[in-house]
Structure 1
Amino acid sequence: MTALVPTEAGSKFNIPRATYRLQFNKDFTFNDAARIAPYLARLGISHVYASPILKARPGSMHGYDVVDHSQLNPELGTREDFDRLVQILHEHGLGLIVDIVPNHLGVMGDDNERWLDVLENGPAARYACHFDIDWRPERRSMRDRILVPVLGDSYGKVLERGELQIEFDAVNGSFSVRYFNHRMPIDPREYARIFAEPMPEELLPMDDAHRADFESLLNSFSNLPPRDDISAEAVAVRYRDKEAHKRRLARLIERSPEVMRHINDSVARLNGNPEQPESFDALDALLEAQAYRLSFWRVAVDEINYRRFFDVNDLAALRMNERSVFEGTHQLIFELIDAGSIDGLRIDHSDGLYDPEEYFQWLQERFGGGQGRRPLYVVTEKILAAHERLPESWLVHGTTGYDYAALQTTWLVCGDEESRMTRRYRHFTENEASFETLMYESKRLVMRSSLAAEVEVLATQLDRIAHLDRHTADFTRAALREAIREVIACFPVYRTYISPRGIGEEDRRIIHWATGLARRRSTGAEVSVFDFLRDVLLGTAAEGRSPSHRQAMLEFAMKFQQVTAPVTAKGVEDTAFYRYNRLICLNEVGGDPNRFGVSSTALHQANLERAKLWPHSMLATSTHDTKRSEDVRARIAVLSELPELWKQHLSRWSQLNRNKRRQVEDAAAPNREDEYLLYQTLAGLWSPELATEQLIERLQAYMVKAGREAKRSTSWIDPNADYETAVGEFIAQLLNNPERNAFLRDLSAFVPTVAFFGRINSLVTTALKITSPGVPDFYQGTELPAFTLVDPDNRAPVNFAAAAVQLEALADVNDLGTLLTDGNGASAKLFVTAKLLRLRADDASLFALGGYQPLQVEGEKKDHVFAFARSHEGRQCVVIVPRWPARLMGGVSELPLGDVWGDTRVQLGEAAATELRDVFTDERPRVQGEEMRLADVLSRFPLAVLRSA
């Protein structure tokens, strides 16, 4: 039996057996991770799965705002600290998977040298090709310039308040404009503008050598190649000479204090006086001559001309399709992989890449792969619709597991109660809109607001294409823009994958479907514009055209794909998911709130497909991205099993709390949608052990975020402080004064039932994750019950010392009943996790390579059982778990054990010929013929995992 399984025959890389996600930041460093290596090894983990470890913005708590791919993040430790971590991991039999961010870089501030190079030199920057910048926007004044939307107010007001200040770096001989923590270099070719007034003779005589050197330097700066000359020779000359001139200036001021004084006086004069608005004219003219335009941050909505990560202005997208960019940004990571320090990669936001398939091809080729071979373990963060499949041509091992998390939670939901739960939701909130309608409207909303500029770039491209043909030249820009918006709003997936290699049949079907639906929805008179857009995307409009015409259409299609993904993410996950709260455990990254439950057959089918196509895909249940931890979702799913109980308490809460709501702008605060969301959140989160003040603070922060994401009563762009204050006060009144709080007493009576069955759901989720085809992933701390909400709530520190003590204590547990009756099921979840991870460690190939067989269940309670077998080279593992335990037990908080199962039995199939032992009880359940009675196998513990004895 092998502990690890190679990714490919002859490969030095192994498939992880089980991963453990750690969130590195200034408060959790390489040294901290090294200290918990023994605990993770005892738990049964094979690989630490690290959040980004490259140099990020100072203070970053997540690491996705990388500013330098060539350095480790100094806040996490030194290179020696990292090497020591790797050494300790290896000593404990652990490997390292690292999350990398190829799509974007953190910009603004003053710590990204590549970005500063672009600001200083515009299109002539050495790193101009690294960023996805449109240097030819429609606004002529922005040609060869980049919008920098960092100002907190309009440009004129900020300028005349004196908040933009020119600074001189005497060490490097360079000038910049400073806006708080942002630094924007001044183009050296424009340095002469700083010295509009000549140096006074009384400072230095006209014949002074230092004066002559200074004037010569200014002339040399002015004669640098212009920014619009992007030939290789001009770029090289500009860089060489500007740096040489800066060094000369630095040496000159060391020799001449008079020159330094002249520089200081000129800078002071240029920086103006807030009492004299006209004193800023010279600074205004200087800034107008730069390769950037400083603007109010709101201007980005309409005019930004660099591609961003979603709508985040300080995360600029990279042109990863340029081989030089690919090689440069991956150099350190590749070195660490070659050194054996890193064993695999998680690729963040692959849908943002220009050509994901090409990117993965390059990645695997670097390690001897390609042509279908995947030597390096790679998983991709890819959000899949329920009907969508990961492209088999991608040289990855699967996804990061968001699809699994969504499917697993949806399976917990009792679909039989959909109509009753929907009626209760609609009655309470008065929200009659379908999720499809809200999704469509939300995507339209973000395209009119935060992502309007991205749509405008597409409209500009399509307008240029339309004018290349007299048959389409009459389409107006407004009509083209509207067609783009409508088609994206109708898109059923995050994106398609059109490339120079062609278009797949599934992508062709998606485009036909989306453009057809958009055409039918349109109220405009000229619907043929949708046919034109469809034909451009499909490439049929390029037939018979010139090579340049065909290339323009292909580039439009590929850029179009990079816009549909962020529109879907912002419109669906970050808007519609907060506007439709029927059952919020379904409102999860990769999930579909409209999909109220799935059958066990569907779960089996998904497991079979994964075993066949992606057997090493990650299986996640909680991540840094999930809006609610698995334990919160496990509780909320119980509400679907107890709709009448939920209805009764919800009605009481609405009455008890009606006087706690306030009127803000003639509307209730909280609104009914937010109130419904809050009650479900409390059902998933609350326990009497939680500190009241801390819980209030967490919920207040969460509801502010939820309200702003919903973009109805408040938003990120236009926060409504009165509404948010009212919601915060409402939360405080719900939870304060427990001795005379009727709502809190009723909540206390309701939640224990939900929590009891939620614990069973949580154990089931854990067992299925560890034993199903794929690689189980544990987000930090979730081996124990973790009741957390969306970030930053889910980034709270984990008490690993306490977890290690609990794990050690489990070695002596004999009474399984005590595991299930302790306060919050902490011991039971850790027990199941450790037992099953040890099982995987004992026989890694069974789970990495083994087959998957759904097992038939018969009897009166068959709908409440899910069972399957894993087999490999004669070895067997049978998994049996309960489903919908609250419904099974009639809402009575008792464990589903023994006789409650009646005549229900599992047909063991091939496993019947094998002697089986229960991993949890260490017993050998009786097999009658080819079947096993649940009353026997589930007599002491509510789930069973049986292995070959």
Structure 2
Amino acid sequence: MPRTTLEPVATYRVQLTPDFTFAEVTGILGHLCDLGVSHLYLSPILEAMPGSQHGYDWSPPARIAQALGGLDGFRFLREHARALGIGMILDLVPNHVGVASVAHNPWWEHVLTFGFDSPYATYFDLYPADTDTIYLPYLGRAEDLADLRLDERDWLVLGDIAVPTAPGTVAPGDDPLEVHQRQHYRLVAHDGTQIGYRRFLTVNGLAALRQEIPAVYDATHGWLQELVADDLLDGVRIDHLDGLRDPVGYLTRLRADLGADRLIYVEKTLAIAEELDPSLPVDGTTGYETLQLIEARFTAPTGAIELEETFRTISGGREGDGDRLWERARELRESVLVSSFPDRLQRITDLLSARDHQVPPHILRQAVSLLVSSSPVARPGYPATTEAVLNRIDNLAAENLVAAPGCEVLATAIADPDYAPEAVARLGEATVAVYGQAIEGIGYNRTARLVSSQELGCSPLIPAINQPDFDERCSWRAAHWPRGLNALSTHDTKRAEDVRARIAVIAQTPQRWRIFVDELWRMAPPPHSWVCYYLLQNLVGVWPDQALPDEQMRARFSAFASKTLREGQVVSSWSDPNPRAEADVLRWLDTIQTGIPGLAVSSFVSLIADAGREESLSRKVISLTLPGVGDIYQGTQWWDDSLTDPDNRRPVDYTRSLDHPKVQAVRAALAVRRRHLDSFGPGSDYASLTVRGPAAAHLIAFSRGHRGVAAVVVVGVRLALMFNSPVTRGKAYVELPPGIWVETTAGEEFTGSISADALLADKPYALLELKS
């Protein structure tokens, strides 16, 4: 039976849990069909570690989780979705596997039992350094080993940690500490640097897999190949592509398995000026670059400059932008490389030293550290990144003469794929891991000029973008990645799209914000000024429209604040918690959510809330109609006040009213897309429309079409705070393309130059179709 290919219109991401299984997803298919969604996009569906609420810690052998409904439940969901014309995209996790519970991972158990003699040892990216010992960072402190005991299976047990012992290493009455010394592994402190397996970032419960080995690929993808054979999926999303040793090789084999017509999306962060390598056999990324593009276009550039002064005052002189912030980012990446990933740094150095015996290892190490700390691309090693990386290495050599010989070796390795391929692969992995930990994990919690620009794919250094650059990037995307995803929220974003939209409005009223902050600081002096300033912006983003935060909201925000304080590593950290400092900040947060301080926050929120809602609707429509495929994260068809995970993975109430402005916006945008598939898919056109008048800066306007003929016009409001009256809206005019244009909701017809007041009425967006 020939396969029917579904052209993607929009995807809808669902987070599966033991309480929201395939059966529950089947129950919402009618709603997704009503929205206009073309593809259901599922979180990982394989068996995972006990109690997992996300599935990224899956456990071998690879099989569909019974807790989610098993293969039969998945087939049932697939059949119902296909009957409604909805395709299926699955989230694949090739980079790592869960190892937190050894008993639930037979591969890992075998490796710990038999060490490097286990046939599964080659499955994992083990790095024993000078010994054949695998270091397990399971301990709070080294002294915890005093509580080690043996259970009835002769496993070593410490609290909720249980690890197997090798045959013949335990006799009745043995001291557990002595037994521990006989094993192929050693339990070490969780923040130790001698790690015998390459972790995902610094998550100790995940171990990296070597997908470049055919046997590992076969063992981890057999289930997928079976689904493909039965035509049970239409595409995949690849988690953390840059964590693989050989991303290009992996994608080449995966494309061969899936065939030419199934979708492949890769989770990959790109630097601001970086493009996805066109040689990759994929349909695009999961959309962080579009998130950044939209976020930047909706941020007032002059307001961001004024907010820089506020942040400097609040923080005692710390810069929120400019060269010094870039330098701090470099310093932070270098510090994290040395403190959290020294094993990776040493591994790259060893590999280069083995290739070039003339340059001293410490010089090579310095060159590697410099490049990892200032890479111009997300991950060196892709063919398209070569020129940018070589230019950066040349600059580093000129700036650091001592490291110049090491830079020369690095340049040779980057330029010549056969010179030191393993070193380049490890260099790429290290660069990604260090950036994720240093910038997204720590750095984004340490600066606070405007926290809406501190999001995945974004950069606080470049919070805004002008119209010509915006249009240029959109045109490029239409030509090169017409099926790439356009995300506004994901399960990994730091703040939901509606929260960011409101926070960004602060840049439209920076002086009133400064007055408000000064008043609040007088009423409730913070225990740590700029850490509390960071938290305040987030609190304003989630603050209720018409009331003070209730107990549930306060509990959610306290959990977010506690996580933020430890990840920022300023007043506390995961490895060295400071309960007193954390308590001081949490008490301050309680203070400003009640009484007179709480009323002051409510007053400021009331000033910006409506503009935030309007811009959120505008952003949503634009994300669904720009070049690419709209991606809707679960629940974001309604207002969403979520913060970072696990807050953004809370259950979604699908019984909410469908008579909601955001639901209506999604329906309208996707209905237009479905009626004009040629104007949005491969070969479609994007063209910026001329907007004139004193208030022109408040509009984003473009057309979508095919073969030079515009069929759809999209207009969205930006900088909405000062664009809310008919008089002001009458000062912006959109030049429509030739023809008669029909507004999709009211059915009004327009032609030529039309004012925003007439076009939009009281809405923050307009969708128009060419009258046939």
Please name the residue that 1:485 is paired with. 369
Q: Which runs of 5+ in 1 are unaligned?
A: 1-9, 169-174, 196-265, 271-279, 369-373, 543-549, 662-668, 811-826, 889-894
Establish whether residue 782 from structure 1 lines up as the match of residue 604 from structure 2.
Answer: no
Shift of 1:675: 1.4
Shift of 1:695: 2.0
- 3-state secondary structure, aligned to 1:639: helix
Please name the residue that 1:79 is paired with. 71
Distance 1:538 1:943, change over 3 A: closer
Please name the residue that 2:414 is paired with. 538
Please name the residue that 1:727 is paired with. 585
Distance across 1 between alignment mates of 2:210 and 2:242 = 13
- 3-state secondary structure, aligned to 1:585: helix
Please name the residue that 1:507 is paired with. 386
Coordinate RMSD, CA, aligned: 2.1
Within 5 Å, give how 1:114-513 maps onto structure 2.
114-135=107-128, 137-138=129-130, 142=131, 144-154=132-142, 157-161=143-147, 163-168=148-153, 175-188=154-167, 191=168, 193-195=169-171, 266=172, 269-270=173-174, 280=175, 283-299=176-192, 302-368=193-259, 374-433=260-319, 434-466=324-356, 469=357, 471-472=358-359, 475=360, 477-497=361-381, 504=384, 506-513=385-392
Q: Provide, for residues 886-942 of structure 1, a one-character-per-residue CA deviation record: whole Å limited to 9, x for no partner.
A: 133xxxxxx344x42335322223xx22x32111222213x2xx4333332123433
Within 5 Å, give how 1:589-628 maps onto structure 2.
589-628=456-495
Distance 1:160 1:427, change over 3 A: closer
Establish whether residue 516 from structure 1 lines up as the match of residue 383 from structure 2.
Answer: no
Q: Is the 8 A contact 1:515 1:534 kept in 2?
A: no
Q: Is the 8 A contact 1:41 1:92 kept in 2?
A: yes
Q: Provide, for residues 471-504 of structure 1, a one-character-per-residue CA deviation record: whole Å limited to 9, x for no partner.
A: 32xx2x4444333222211212221125xxxx55
Distance across 2 between alignment mates of 1:397 and 1:406 = 19
Distance across 2 between alignment mates of 1:69 and 1:920 = 51
AA aligned opposite 2:413 = L
Establish whether residue 848 from structure 1 lines up as the match of residue 681 from structure 2.
Answer: yes
Q: Provide, for residues 392-447 of structure 1, a one-character-per-residue CA deviation record: whole Å limited to 9, x for no partner.
A: 00000001011111111111101123331111111111142432122112212212
Establish whether residue 883 from structure 1 lines up as the match of residue 718 from structure 2.
Answer: yes
Distance across 1 between alignment mates of 2:445 and 2:731 = 44
Distance 1:528 1:940, change over 3 A: closer
Please name the residue that 1:231 is paired with. none
Q: Provide, for residues 732-783 of structure 1, a one-character-per-residue CA deviation record: whole Å limited to 9, x for no partner.
A: 11113xxxx2211221211112111001110110110111111111111101
Distance across 2 between alignment mates of 1:722 and 1:367 = 54
Shift of 1:554: 2.3
- 3-state secondary structure, aligned to 2:188: strand
Shift of 1:12: 4.1
Distance 1:397 1:631, change over 3 A: same
Establish whether residue 578 from structure 1 lines up as the match of residue 445 from structure 2.
Answer: yes
Within 5 Å, give how 1:914-929 maps onto structure 2.
915-925=740-750, 927=751
TM-score by length of 1: 0.77
- 3-state secondary structure, aligned to 1:801: coil
Shift of 1:704: 1.3
AA aligned opposite 1:89 = A
Please name the residue that 1:526 is paired with. 402
- 3-state secondary structure, aligned to 1:21: strand
1:759 to 593, 613, 620: 613
Q: Is the 8 A contact 2:248 2:280 kept in 1?
A: yes
Please name the residue that 1:171 is paired with. none
Distance across 1 between alignment mates of 2:623 and 2:290 = 9
Shift of 1:587: 0.1
Please name the residue that 2:531 is paired with. 674
AA aligned opposite 2:7 = I
AA aligned opposite 1:150 = Y
Shift of 1:375: 2.2
Distance across 2 between alignment mates of 1:478 and 1:649 = 52
Distance across 1 between alignment mates of 2:302 and 2:741 = 34
Shift of 1:98: 0.9
1:696 to 554, 570, 579: 554
Q: Which moved more, 1:720-729 or 1:411-420?
A: 411-420
Q: Provide, for residues 775-827 of structure 1, a one-character-per-residue CA deviation record: whole Å limited to 9, x for no partner.
A: 1111111011101111111111111012xxx22xx4xxxxxxxxxxxxxxxx2
Shift of 1:536: 4.6
Please name the residue that 1:273 is paired with. none
Distance across 1 between alignment mates of 2:397 and 2:61 = 41
- 3-state secondary structure, aligned to 2:67: coil
Please name the residue that 1:819 is paired with. none
Count residues in correspondence: 762
Distance across 2 between alignment mates of 1:305 and 1:460 = 16
Distance 1:409 1:535, change over 3 A: closer
Please name the residue that 1:95 is paired with. 87
AA aligned opposite 1:597 = A
Q: Is the 8 A contact 1:425 1:582 kept in 2?
A: yes
Within 5 Å, give how 1:646-665 maps onto structure 2.
646-658=513-525, 661=526
Distance across 2 between alignment mates of 1:284 and 1:881 = 66
Distance across 2 between alignment mates of 1:679 and 1:857 = 36
Establish whether residue 56 from structure 1 lines up as the match of residue 35 from structure 2.
Answer: no
Q: Is the 8 A contact 1:627 1:790 kept in 2?
A: yes
Shift of 1:627: 0.5
Q: Is the 8 A contact 2:676 2:711 kept in 1?
A: no
Q: Provide, for residues 634-683 of structure 1, a one-character-per-residue CA deviation record: whole Å limited to 9, x for no partner.
A: 1111111111111111111111112xx4xxxxxxx3x1121111221122
Distance 1:834 1:437, change over 3 A: same
Please name the residue that 1:892 is paired with. none
Q: Which moved more, 1:834-843 or 1:727-736?
A: 834-843
Regions of 4+ moved over 6 Å = none
Q: Is the 8 A contact 2:396 2:404 kept in 1?
A: no
Distance 1:13 1:480, change over 3 A: same
AA aligned opposite 1:167 = E
Q: Which runs of 5+ in 2 are unaligned?
A: none
Please name the residue that 1:832 is paired with. 665
Shift of 1:580: 1.1
Please name the residue that 2:765 is paired with. 943
Q: Is the 8 A contact 1:490 1:518 kept in 2?
A: no
Q: Provide, for residues 28-84 of structure 1, a one-character-per-residue CA deviation record: whole Å limited to 9, x for no partner.
A: 111111111111111111111111111111111111111125211222223222222
Establish whether residue 933 from structure 1 lines up as the match of residue 755 from structure 2.
Answer: yes
Distance 1:337 1:887, change over 3 A: same
Q: Provide, for residues 365-396 of structure 1, a one-character-per-residue CA deviation record: whole Å limited to 9, x for no partner.
A: 1234xxxxx42201000101111000000000
Shift of 1:630: 0.6
Shift of 1:285: 4.2
Distance across 2 between alignment mates of 1:842 and 1:861 = 32
Distance across 1 between alignment mates of 2:367 and 2:403 = 9
Shift of 1:691: 4.6
Please name the residue that 1:112 is paired with. 105
Q: Is the 8 A contact 2:390 2:411 kept in 1?
A: no
- 3-state secondary structure, aligned to 2:258: coil
Q: Which moved more, 1:755-764 or 1:848-857?
A: 848-857
Distance 1:519 1:295, change over 3 A: farther
Please name the residue that 2:736 is paired with. 908
Q: Is the 8 A contact 2:380 2:424 kept in 1?
A: no
AA aligned opposite 2:674 = A
Distance across 2 between alignment mates of 1:880 and 1:73 = 44
Q: Is the 8 A contact 1:587 1:593 kept in 2?
A: yes
Distance across 1 between alignment mates of 2:206 and 2:247 = 19
Q: Is the 8 A contact 2:22 2:73 kept in 1?
A: yes
Establish whether residue 872 from structure 1 lines up as the match of residue 706 from structure 2.
Answer: yes
